[in-house]
Amino acid sequence: MTGTDHAVLVLRLAAPLQSWGGPSRYNRRETRPQPTKSGVLGLLAAAEGRDREASLADLVGLRLGVRVDQPGTLLRDYHTYSDHRGLPLLSAKTNAKGQQTRTTPAKYTGVTQRFYLQDAVFVAALRGPKTLLQSLEEAVRHPVHPLSLGRRSCPPTGPVSLGLHPDTGLDDVLEEVPWEAGRHRRGQVRGTTTTLEAIVEDPAGDQVAIDVPDTYNLKTGTRFGRRTVRHLWVTVPTGHPEPTNPAPGAGATGHPDHDPFALLGW
């Protein structure tokens, strides 16, 4: 159901690097292939200037839909780290006072692996109370804290907000918003329309995502709750003109023959 007391906030999530890690921790920090609800709500909380200990009850209730306009590629970043004072690194063990002990034998260099999405572009739509989304949209345009796409090292490219839309289903919004892919990706698509992957939060969905945060408090850590989602495909215009002459190998309708490599962007 839709109504005048609800609306849909649409965001453009694009950057050279993004990382939507979910519950991954320690020395291997992975990224999901699409933005997580925890990451998107974290961006909104930062825009409003909320403290990490602040309640997320109003944000968690927003329903999220994500469209993959440009999937990007996976990057593995290899890190080494050490204590700047020349001390041995801390171990996972604690003493009787609950304090971490130093590694034995002494270890001075650690290794982490962090994963990112390169050159990805997503459209995120959040449906909820209109007054709340109006406040969030204003905050995204004038954020209190710098915005980032999953990690602080991943600032967005260009404005994030695509505006507030009248209340409608997330499926409809993701079909209406223009294609946000970059110039290179647009040049790889030859037709007048393109089909994009999307994930929509839906109580009747047949898949489960474990990415709903209870808090961003660093002292207590974040526990991730479940939500049900639905996978779909949406078709949007590319902005390319209709071909005037049939391409080589095209039939009488002017449509090219089936190309099995088209989905790979070749």
Quote the tokens at residue 58: 């109003």
Read off the pLDDT of residues 28-61 as tens digits, 9 standing for 90 and up.
888 999 999 999 999 999 999 999 999 999 999 9
Query: Domain with 16 in it: what CATH number?
Result: 3.30.70.2660
Quote the tokens at residue 133: 């989304």
Residue 162 gets which letter from DSSP?
E
Which domain covers residue 186, as residue numbers? Answer: 6-74+118-264
Is residue 59 one of the residues assigned to a domain? yes
Is residue 173 one of the residues assigned to a domain? yes
Read off the pLDDT of residues 89-148 as tens digits, 9 standing for 90 and up.
888 788 887 788 888 888 888 888 889 999 999 999 999 999 999 999 999 999 999 999
Question: Is 44 in a helix, a strand, or coil?
Answer: helix
Is residue 107 one of the residues assigned to a domain? no
Measured in degrees and rounded to the nearest 5, phi and psi for residue 212 equal: -95, 115
| pLDDT for res 30 | 87
What's the number of domains the chain is made of? 1
| Positions of E strands within the chain | 6-18, 28-29, 63-70, 73-81, 90-94, 100-102, 110-129, 161-166, 193-201, 207-213, 224-237
Is residue 166 one of the residues assigned to a domain? yes
Is residue 238 one of the residues assigned to a domain? yes
| pLDDT for res 262 | 63
Give the confidence band of 252 by pLDDT, cuts at 50, 70, 90: very low
Is residue 91 one of the residues assigned to a domain? no
- Span 228-255, average pLDDT: 76
Question: Is 223 in a helix, a strand, or coil?
Answer: coil
Is residue 183 one of the residues assigned to a domain? yes
Read off the pLDDT of residues 165-223 as tens digits, 9 standing for 90 and up.
999 999 999 999 999 999 999 988 888 999 999 999 999 999 999 999 999 988 888 88
Scanning the chain, the segments in alpha helix (DSSP H) are 37-48, 57-60, 130-141, 170-176, 183-188
Is residue 110 one of the residues assigned to a domain? no
Q: For residues 89 and 108, is the Cβ–Cβ distance under 8 A?
A: yes
